[in-house]
Amino acid sequence: MKQQTYADYMRDHFGFDGEGQFTDFMTRQDGQLLLGGRLNLTELARSHGAPLEVVYTPQITTQVARMRAWAEQARARAAYTGRFIYAYATKANFAAEAVQTALQAGAHYETSAAADVVIAHGLFRQGTLPADRLICCNGSKEPGYLAAIRALRMDGCTNVIPVLDDLDELTALADTPAPLQFGVRERAAGNRDGTHPGNDRFGLTAAEIEHAAARIAGTGHQLVLYHAMIGSQVEDEAHFLATLRASVESYARLRRRVPTLRYFNFGGGMPTSGYRLGFSFDYAGFLTRLMATIRDTCAAYDVPVPDLIGEFGRYTVATHSVFLLEVGAVKQGQPGTPDWYLVNGSMMVTLPDALLVEDQEFVILPLTDWDQPLRPARLGGRRTCDSDDVYPRPDRPPLMLPATDGGLVLAICGVGAYQQMIAGRGGAHHCLSPEPARVIVTEREGRLVSRYVPQQDQATIMRLLGYQPAPLAAPAPLAASARPLRVAPIVVGASGLSRRRLHQRPPRLARIVATGD
């Protein structure tokens, strides 16, 4: 009987026959994997080896455009007269290329800490963050956060909106000389169903919201925004809408007494395709039902519908980055268990959410060998000595991948949101695993433009930890009869995809292999 190949597995389980688009961010053409339908990952692996981080910002533009288009469809279907406002939740990825691309695509701005506001202030001064974009400031606000908000407002930014998480924040900002637009965050929405216990610390109670509204009414400031955050990666839309309905009713009751209230922020939670093959979600249908719910609730309370704000973090950036890791060795598993594919990287550094978020998955695809027999496998980080540095977790099913003796390069998808923000960029990581080289690809006037960042330098890591470079000892003189040893150069990687000598400098990216325009 013919042994099942990886290509057979993809066809049988996901209906993908091996060519064409099989996720909303990944395509396979002539046996090559293309990110965003244009950027050839297989060619990048051949040119630069692995590990390699590939950052493709046009995918961010695509994500924003898709959601805004779905929202316009929903507005038409639901006869919704309010605007739809797309805000990028910058905590998902603070990298300049990610934030600037989202803004260029038309996104508004959502912050969660003082540093976010400092970044926004700089972008506002540069003109990169247009004056007509909202800056919604969420989260608990320490003195530095409050001072950054005040400084941004006093510099002429009229659309910065501090969303009150505590009444003390209102006290601290009330004497701002320039008029502020305030928001309130509803505490009940965070854990109304008991399934999001971490969210129940955010926001104001109903009584505190009433108190805040009354205090703001007696000042030159305005209350303009009502925020209700349900959770993250919410795919059960019936549950989402049922939970949110009570918050919409609270908004409508408050709107009857506060005519300046005009924004309803339903927060984040929009799922993304970066974490599961076979993912499907009806975004336009969900937004249609959300707008219809708000429309009908506002009609029942005889108030106008609000402008609707969504905060998109994971959705915006999860699929724009991919890590390429190479299987450097294969170790046989215990009897009855999958083999270990040992990769030239660290799961704990590359995929921290695999440890932190229960049942978190990532799409992992082989660049080559789709015609090879199928094998169950687990990935192990070869650059640490830690039992937790594995993926999937021991209680989860193994990955199904092509059989290999080493050299197989894997594309780990969905890493553009939170992974580097949690693990950190630069600095020292677990077991001093250096960050891989990075290729950053942007689009300029329809052309792809690339920038290459070499792998993190080990000496820099050591200096960060307080080590000083030791002077090299002078070699002992050779005896008269001794001959120098001939040392063969060390080669990284076992496959034809990548063979580079360690003493060579990383190659500069001379070109991007692209398909299409």
What are the φ/ψ torsions at residue 161 (nearest 5 degrees)? -125, 100
Rounded (to 5) percent helix, strand, coil in the chain: 35, 20, 45
Domains of the chain: 42-57+319-469+482-517 (2.40.37.10), 79-312 (3.20.20.10)
3-state secondary structure of 265: strand
Tell me if 191 sits within 8 A of 173, measured CB to CB. Answer: no
pLDDT per residue as tens digits for the range 286-325: 999 999 999 999 999 999 999 999 999 999 999 999 999 9
Residue 78 binned pLDDT confidence (cut-offs 50, 70, 90): very high
What's the pTM value of the predicted model, to 2 decimals? 0.87
Tell me if 214 sits within 8 A of 174, measured CB to CB. Answer: no
Q: Which residue has the higher pLDDT, 231 or 179?
A: 179
pLDDT per residue as tens digits for the range 258-296: 999 999 999 887 888 888 888 888 999 999 999 999 999
Cα dihedral sign, 56-62-63-64: positive
Both tokens of 485, joined, read: 């040893």
Tell me if 494 sits within 8 A of 407, measured CB to CB. Answer: yes
Residues with Cβ within 8 Å of residue 363, at least 6 apart in sequence: 23, 26, 273, 274, 275, 276, 277, 412, 413, 414
Say how far apart CA 50 and CA 36 lie, in whole Å. 20
What is the Cβ-side half-sphere exposure of residue 481, based on CA atoms within 13 angstroms?
Answer: 0
What does the pLDDT average to over 209-237?
Answer: 88
- Over 70: is that where the pLDDT of 175 sits? yes
90 secondary structure, DSSP code: G
The average confidence (pLDDT) of the chain is 86
pLDDT per residue as tens digits for the range 413-464: 988 877 687 777 777 777 778 888 899 999 998 899 999 999 988 888 898 8
Q: Determine how β-strand 307-312 pairs with β-strand 263-265.
A: parallel
Quote the pLDDT of residue 28: 95
pLDDT per residue as tens digits for the range 331-346: 998 998 999 999 998 8
